[in-house]
Structure 1
Amino acid sequence: MEYLLFRLYGPLASWGEIAVGESRHTAVYPGKSALLGLLAAALGVRRDEEERQTEFAAGYRFAVKVVSAGHPLRDYHTTQAPDSVGKFVYRTRRDELVVGKERLGTILSSREYRCDALSLVAVTAEESAPYTLNEIREALLKPRFNLYLGRKSCPLAVPLNPLVRPAAGFGEALDNYPHGALFISKYLLRKAEKETAKDVTLSCSPLLAALSREDEYVFAYGNYPIRYYWEGEAGDLVSQQALTRHDQPLSRSRWQFTQRTEHLRIEKEERRCISPGSE
């Protein structure tokens, strides 16, 4: 079976959980709604296109390998906005501040983020999928809309590096994915250039296929277990725990979601992972 693989890393990420009152919590890894939204944005599928969104949500399954959950950050957030006036709609931010000046109020909220989190994602397509994995890969390389990690204030810090590869299951696909180093030192780059054949591109160098020594230090690589989350049959991963998540989209325009079952496996990194090049 073929899998589309890509990586998600940024200084800030926010994978929204159920919002209660003024608190906006985040999960430690991207859920299905966030991943569907990322792919749909790359393809140019708009939120108000209900039929296309519904078809898209039913066409794909995801697995996530959390290399680093990052560190939590909480932001005390204040927003000044006018309250609603019947069916009147404020067209711009200027309208809110000028036309709605007499109705301005302050909204207080607490928002959570994850700092320096790295996740690898595998996608498989169902028979009803509206786009092939290669079409999505091309869209991720040249997205129609801006891509971000949960919120617009959380941009990507590295390229997604999308690849389509065959594998026996989610586990093999994620463990053998040459996602590439995030930080490449001059020494590592010179070494990769020296050991790469002239007719092979530098991006294919085994030394640059996995995390660099600096990456491993920042992420405390090997000190914490790796977590795998997936939906449905994994093929080569055995579930240790079943989780319930409320991130299956019902309506993007009305922000309605329903629950689904997700599987979790926690283990050490030595399984089938590509060994990082020594420096």
Structure 2
Amino acid sequence: MTDYLVFRLYAPLASWGEAAVGETRPTASYPGKSALLGLVGAALGIRRDDDAGQKALREGLAFGVKQRSSGTLMRDYHTVQVPPAKAKVRYSTRKDELSIPKGDLNTILSARDYRCDGLWNVACWLKPGAAWTLAELRQALERPYFCLYLGRKACPPAVPLSPIVVACETLKDALDSEFPPLNGRSDAGEKALRPSKRALYAWEGEIHRLDGSAEGVEHNDIWDMPLNRRRWQFGPRLEYRRVMQDKEGR
């Protein structure tokens, strides 16, 4: 038996950042390592410039995700002011970029993607030497130090995360945990999201961790391991994925 902290994520808008090039900011269909560490770190009150705290998060926590509904993709367009490119001129911050005369600024179109009405279950377990207990993490998610959001500050959770600590034989059992209805009275709210009959499971660690089997498991490197939050540096990690029948989507 392994102890897991399990919680639910739902919001009308969520944005799970992926590698971004140029003016397009895409989103994954489910939260990755960086997003989940950021969520838990915000609940604990760990700031981005707290290198020791960020390292403790990175080295102490592991996650698995069950995607019950990926939601629908929405693209939002923004106009952004940027300085003209000049040889030997570099801008370290956004403040530096906007410090030049307004008449010299250029305007570009920026596209940002969101997931609308996505629903995910998340399971967290501790690595050796973790700085917190699961009970402490649960308490932090119930009473977060900083406001929580699903990828961007414009994406606050729409329902309580309802974190619970469970002891399960497999990670799949933990991710299949049941939560209070979204609308507080019945499961009509979740049915309105049209959850798929086949759920996507994604996890780190060992290939057999989900349910003891490696059948149908895919894996590849995901570049969302935060190495330095202040400099926005990320490294690769190995992620496993498997699509299975969801008992809740029959």
**Shorter-normalised TM range:** 0.7 to 0.9
Q: What is the match of residue 126 of structure 1?
A: 127
SS state at 2:53 partner: helix
Q: 1:241 to 1:86 in 2, by over 3 A?
A: closer
SS state at 2:190 partner: helix
Q: What is the match of residue 219 of structure 2?
A: 242
SS state at 1:4 partner: strand
Q: What is the match of residue 226 of structure 1?
A: 199
Q: Matched residues in 2 for 1:144 and 1:83: separation? A: 39
CA deviation string 1:190-211 (max 9, x = no partner): xxxxxxxxxxxxxxxxxxxxxx
Q: Please say if residues 64 and 201 of structure 2, whose CA atoms lie closer than 8 Å, have aligned partners that are also in contact.
A: yes
Q: 1:11 to 1:254 in 2, by over 3 A?
A: same
TM-score norm. by structure 1 comes to: 0.79
Quote how far apart the aligned CAs of 1:91 are: 6.0
Q: Matched residues in 2 for 1:156 and 1:100: separation? A: 39
Quote how far apart the aligned CAs of 1:82 are: 5.2
CA deviation string 1:182-230 (max 9, x = no partner): 1245xx5xxxxxxxxxxxxxxxxxxxxxxx03421x1223x53101000
Quote how far apart the aligned CAs of 1:79 are: 2.0
Quote how far apart the aligned CAs of 1:167 are: 0.8
Q: Please say if residues 64 and 122 of structure 2, whose CA atoms lie closer than 8 Å, have aligned partners that are also in contact.
A: yes
Q: Matched residues in 1 for 2:153 and 2:140: separation? A: 19
Where in structure 1 are there 5+ consecutive unaligned residues? 189-211
Q: What is the match of residue 228 of structure 2?
A: 251
Q: Matched residues in 2 for 1:181 and 1:21: separation? A: 40
| CA-based RMSD | 2.5
**Which residue identity lines up with residue 219 of structure 1 in the other structure?**
L
Quote how far apart the aligned CAs of 1:106 are: 1.8
Identify, as 1 or 2, the structure richer in strand. 2
Report the structure number with the largest CA radius of gyration: 1
Q: 1:74 to 1:54 in 2, by over 3 A?
A: same
- Which residues of 2 match residues 108-257 of structure 1 at below 5 A? 108-175=109-176, 177-185=177-185, 188=186, 212-216=187-191, 218-221=192-195, 223-233=196-206, 234=209, 236-239=211-214, 240-257=217-234
Q: Please say if residues 181 and 189 of structure 2, whose CA atoms lie closer than 8 Å, have aligned partners that are also in contact.
A: no
Q: Matched residues in 2 for 1:66 and 1:88: separation? A: 37
Q: 1:106 to 1:59 in 2, by over 3 A?
A: same
- The answer to whether residue 236 in structure 2 is matched with residue 263 in structure 1 is no
Q: Matched residues in 1 for 2:5 and 2:94: separation? A: 41
Percentage of identical aligned residues: 45
Quote how far apart the aligned CAs of 1:88 are: 8.6
Q: Matched residues in 2 for 1:103 and 1:89: separation? A: 17
Where in structure 2 are there 5+ consecutive unaligned residues? none
- Which residues of 2 match residues 42-53 of structure 1 at below 5 A? 42-53=43-54
